[in-house]
Amino acid sequence: MSLITGILEQLINGLRTGSIYALIAIGYTMVYGIAKMINFAHGDIIMVGAYSLYVFTAILELPAAAAVILTVAVCAALGIVVERIAYKPLRNAPSLAVLITAIGVSYFLQNTALLIFKATPIPFGSIINISGIRLGNINISGVTLVTFVATAVMMVGLTLFVNKTRAGSAMRAVSEDRGAASLMGINVNKTISMTFAIGSALAAVAGILYICQYQSLQPTLGALPGIKAFVAAVLGGIGNIPGAMLGGLLLGIIESLSRAYISTQLADAIVYGVLVIVLLVRPSGLLGKQKTEKV
Amino acid sequence: MKKWGKAVSFIMAASLVVASLTACSGSGETTADTTAAGETSAAAGTETFLIGGIGPLTGSAASYGISVEQGAWVAIDEINAAGGVKVGDTTYMLDMVFEDDEATEDKAIQAYNTVMDEGAQVIMGAVTSGACIAITPLTLQDGILQITPSGSAEACIANDNAFRICFSDPEQGRAMADYAIDSLGYTKIAVLYNNSDEYSTGLQTAFEEEVKAKGGEIVASESFGADDVDFNTQLSSIRSTDAEVIYVPAYYQAATYISNQAKEMGMEIPFIGSDGWDGVLGTVTDASTVEGAIFSSPFCASVDDERVQNFVKAYGEANDGAVPDQFAADAYDTVYTIKAAMEQAGSIESEDMIAAMTEITVNGLTGDAITFDASGAAEKDVRFVEIVDGAYQYREE
Amino acid sequence: MNKTSAGKTPAKYGKIVLNILITLAVYAVMMVVIQGGMLSRQMTSIIIPCCINVMLAVSLCLLVGYLGELTLGHAGFMSIGAYAGALLTNYLDMPPVAELLIGMLAGGIIASVFAVVIGLPVLRLKGDYLAIVTLGFGEIIRSVINSLEFTGGAKGLSGIGTYATYKNFTFVYIFVILTILLIANLVHSRHGRAITAVRDNYIAAEAIGIHVGRFKTMAFVISAFFAGLAGVIYAHNVGILKPANFDYNKSIEILVMVVLGGMGNIKGSIIAAIILTLLPEVLRSAADYRMLLYSIVLIAMMLFNNSRFKLAIVEKRNLKKAAEIQKEGE
């Protein structure tokens, strides 16, 4: 195989993981942008999404479309409940307190799943039965294609929603200045709840695509993609939706190329190294807004 | 006096300390109870012999520890139902306490001390290599017999009181290399291993050395990390070489992802693997992805053997139909090894049992006549399993 | 009542005497308990991990509590110290205590050298960005250690002398006290006030001539030094080091101690470190439910610490204090 095809193939591999990272990062970044908190439990919502899909299709034997809708609904509801119980009382607490609570929620979800579904991985056949395409020597599977499309659609849809709709402008207002927003008659609590519902619904979609791609369920499956997506969101400028998409795809490509051509051992170090360098040059990420602090 | 918030924190702290103390005294009492019970029943000629198990019950390696615990209980129940272990004039009923070490070194030390508090008379563990190495200085100090079912790193049995049931990583890696070259006739081999795992790296190092020594060629040596689920990059790199076969020394989770993604990419290079592959048919969605894979394994649940089938049946009945893996079989053999050592030594003192270890032969699930040499390693034949028509099968020599 | 500073001095001395008494009393109790074999083996073996976690929490408290910077890479510095110390003591052939002393010094210094190198560029970042970059550095350190030959790679570094067990409690205890003492003194010194000024308002701090960058780096380096020391003790307590044990989860574990301890509260950090080390052991009998309980306790504590109930208590206390001061003034 020539070098060019090799590189092309590795690029596609990078885009494949990258689009999953991007999909998760979009939800991450939106919650961060509006609620101003790192939702460490975001990765575990993906896990809940994956297990819900398994329960709905494999155990309750519902049709795929109904299972997908129910999964998204379950995750959105979970997002609202988690926000109400664990994050809302901490609205005015230091951000660190919220971070720790989010870590607590993450442990809680993981261990609940461990108790219910046990640690042994559960095999799960993909519900997406679209045949892949072949470009010369390179094979792109159906799931990967769906993931590409879903990520792009979500990114565009979410950007339009935030920028063009009434609810979206309420979200932006809350993001800018919570106090002022509530004075303008915006229901801050409701807006933040909605943010979590949408963020968790996105996580559910990510969970569904993730599980169709990798086909194995484990209680800890959300942890690593969660962290990677967080890195992707920061890389692209946290709070910025197109930035999250860019960050996710870049992360996937860097990971894939450094594994293929530099060292598989040091791939993680390289990924984080790039993050550090980007942040040192552009402290608010690739597409993030530079803010000067006021006295 | 004025710091109420702190007072509340202090009360919480105090209640925890009290709770911990009561927990201690509680466990103290239970040990006292068991010894008391032992004394009274000694007149009747039966006593309890307590095995202390250590392994991960939570965390990412939990499935191994859980298998070991469940496998050991099958053996214990079997032995007790058959009348216990006769040592001299006394009959011992086996019992077990199993503590979680989360597969980490520091927790293993705590777990070991906890089972010792509970009166363990022999140690079965730890399940994972690192944790096992961490407790070896302590078991040596206490002079207690330590048998690890699955701690495969070389340092696990460095001390005289430590033995193991499974193969060591270098042994297994070399055996697979010999088999791949001599029996399967491969010369160009790619390796895909987990670089954050001592089991996988141990196998990989020995395998690559042996292949080179035999005149074979390692055309690619790719690695992945602990929780990786995407192997397309590494597989693409391997595909661009002229590898005839891919050696994947890893556990079945990784093997599941790797074989699935290789098939998705349209790769047709066959796989060979290590004993961690056992169980892979339970986690793949499509058995054809691992069809034809050959791995070194001491145990295989679907093999047509009466003892194995009895074990699989008993294990399934006790655990909601679960199928035992290699860890469960190793633990089962560990318990029978302990029984054999007790009988051979004619004593339940660790000192005597350690001396007896090299004299026993155990007819186990993971080997027909397992013996132990002075280094603590088990001597048994390496067996190879092939996946044929979606089922495990021993390879005929 | 005396309202001059002279009136405060005896109280201050009283506090110092009290602290010394507590230190000695804890030591005496621990020695009696250890020598007398009054604790179960499980509880005896948890003593040194408690000490290690106290050192880690107190050193991170300086960064998170007093400097106000969220870092998620503390385990990285701990691992550098642990590996440096262990490699050195494996190489040396001296009496255990001497080896351990040299190992600790080396571990601490090498960890702080790394802190300078990492801190200088990184500390320009703020808030969540700093958190993610320090997390990144922690992971870089881990994967580099994992890929190196002389650190034993994934197999880990084994054969480390287990010198820092409960039998050497005195030795470890001295270092714990030293850590607490040095950090507490630093916090209450001129430099410490500068550090808190940076936390409270760095622009104002800069305006009155505090060299913000220098103080940030100083706090970062000191914190890393003690994390390195704790790492060396850890290495010689467990006897084997594996890179996988120093991932971001370990950093988060330490951070949780600091936050539960009430951020910027050394006593709180100490208590939280001890409780959170004991908790999993105490909950052992709960087996499967242990981590679940842990997560619930964690969430509940955070909610309580920031609840209206707690705030009301704090406010009441402040009012009372104000009233007292007013009374004194009259």
Domains and CATH numbers, chain A: 9-121+139-281 (1.10.3470)
Whether residue B154 sits in one domain with residue B36: no
Whether residue C110 sits in one domain with residue C31: no
Contacts of C313 in chain B (CB under 8 A): 4-5, 8
User: Within a domain: residue B338?
Assistant: yes
Asked if C256 reaches chain A (Cβ–Cβ under 8 Å), the answer is yes
Whether residue C142 sits in one domain with residue C22: no
User: Within a domain: residue C1?
Assistant: no
User: Within a domain: residue B303?
Assistant: no
Whether residue C85 sits in one domain with residue C22: no
* pLDDT average, residue stretch B22-43: 40
Interface ipTM: 0.85
Residue A251 half-sphere exposure, CB side, CA atoms within 13 Å? 33
Asked if B10 reaches chain C (Cβ–Cβ under 8 Å), the answer is yes
Whether residue B139 sits in one domain with residue B215: no
User: Within a domain: residue B393?
Assistant: no
Whether residue C253 sits in one domain with residue C192: yes
Mean of the per-residue pLDDT values of chain C = 87
**Looking at residue B226, which CATH number applies to its domain?**
3.40.50.2300
User: Within a domain: residue C88?
Assistant: yes
Predicted pLDDT at B38: 40
First to last CA, chain C: 10
> Which of C155, C302, C308 to mutate against chain A (most A CBs within 10 Å)?
C302
Using alpha carbons only, give the angle C79, C81, C86 rounded to the nearest 5 degrees.
95
User: Model pTM?
Assistant: 0.87
pLDDT confidence tier of residue B397, bands split at 50, 70 and 90: low
Q: For residue A151, give the DSSP letter.
A: H
User: Within a domain: residue B331?
Assistant: yes
Whether residue C122 sits in one domain with residue C31: no
Range among B49-53, C94-98, C208-212, C278-282 with highest mean pLDDT value: B49-53
Whether residue C191 sits in one domain with residue C165: yes
Answer yes or no: is pLDDT of C325 > 90. Answer: no
Into how many domains does chain C fold?
Answer: 2
Q: Is B134 within 8 Å of C238 when comparing Cβ atoms? A: yes
Rounded to whole angstroms, the Cα distance separating A237 from A294 reads 20
Whether residue B183 sits in one domain with residue B287: yes
Domain final residue, candidates B276, B297, B318:
B297
User: Within a domain: residue C241?
Assistant: yes
Whether residue B279 sits in one domain with residue B317: no
The per-residue pLDDT string of chain A (295 residues; one tens digit each, 9 = 90 and over) reads 577 888 888 898 898 889 999 999 999 898 888 888 888 899 999 999 999 999 999 889 899 899 999 999 999 999 999 999 999 888 888 878 888 899 899 999 998 998 898 877 888 888 887 777 877 777 788 888 899 899 999 999 999 999 999 999 999 899 888 889 989 889 999 999 999 999 999 999 999 999 988 888 988 888 888 889 989 998 998 888 899 999 999 999 999 999 888 888 888 889 999 998 998 888 888 887 766 555 5
Whether residue C33 sits in one domain with residue C158: no
- Nearest chain B alpha carbon to C282: B20
Two tokens, residue B61: 């390696």
* pLDDT average, residue stretch B303-316: 88
Whether residue C213 sits in one domain with residue C168: yes
Give B49 or C322, the one with higher predicted confidence: B49
| pLDDT above 90 as % of chain C | 37
Whether residue C104 sits in one domain with residue C122: yes
* Chain A to chain C Cβ contacts (< 8 Å): 122
Residues 207-246 of B with CB under 8 A from C: 225-226
Into how many domains does chain B fold?
Answer: 3
Q: Is C245 within 8 Å of B104 when comparing Cβ atoms? A: yes
Q: Is C154 within 8 Å of B116 when comparing Cβ atoms? A: no
| pLDDT above 70 as % of chain B | 88
Residue B124 half-sphere exposure, CB side, CA atoms within 13 Å? 34
B112/chain C closest Cα distance in angstroms: 8
pLDDT confidence tier of residue B32, bands split at 50, 70 and 90: very low
User: Within a domain: residue C326?
Assistant: no
Tens digits of per-residue pLDDT, B125-158?
889 988 999 999 999 999 999 999 998 888 899 8
Rounded to whole angstroms, the Cα distance separating B68 from B242 reads 40
The 3-state secondary structure of chain C, one letter per residue: CCCCHHHHHHHHHHHHHHHHHHHHHHHHHHHHHHHCCCCCHHHHHCHHHHHHHHHHHHHHHHHHHHHCCCCCCHHHHHHHHHHHHHHHHHHCCCCHHHHHHHHHHHHHHHHHHHHHHHHHHHCCCCHHHHHHHHHHHHHHHHHHHHHCCCCCHHHCECCCCCCCCHHHHHHHHHHHHHHHHHHHHHHCCHHHHHHHHHHHCHHHHHHCCCCHHHHHHHHHHHHHHHHHHHHHHHHHHHCCECHHHHCHHHHHHHHHHHHHCCCCCHHHHHHHHHHHHHHHHHHHHHHHHHHHHHHHHHHHHHHHHCCHHHHHHHHHHHHHHHHHHHHHHC
Whether residue B150 sits in one domain with residue B237: no
Q: For residue C49, give the nearest of B106, B117, B201 by CB distance.
A: B106
Whether residue C31 sits in one domain with residue C86: no
Predicted pLDDT at A1: 53
Whether residue B182 sits in one domain with residue B161: no
- Nearest chain B alpha carbon to C240: B134
Closest to C85 in 3D by CA, of C211, C179, C77? C77
Whether residue B178 sits in one domain with residue B63: no
Q: For residue A115, give the nearest of C137, C292, C303 by CB distance.
A: C292
Whether residue B218 sits in one domain with residue B103: no
Tens digits of per-residue pLDDT, B210-232?
999 999 999 999 999 877 888 98
Instruction: Provide the domain limits for residue B121.
Output: 45-167+309-379
User: Within a domain: residue B130?
Assistant: yes
Tens digits of per-residue pLDDT, C111-133?
999 999 999 888 888 777 888 88
Predicted pLDDT at A77: 96
Whether residue B350 sits in one domain with residue B322: yes
Instruction: Provide the domain limits for residue C27.
Output: 10-39
Domain final residue, candidates B251, B268, B297:
B297
* pLDDT average, residue stretch B166-189: 92
Predicted pLDDT at C107: 95
* pLDDT average, residue stretch C223-234: 96
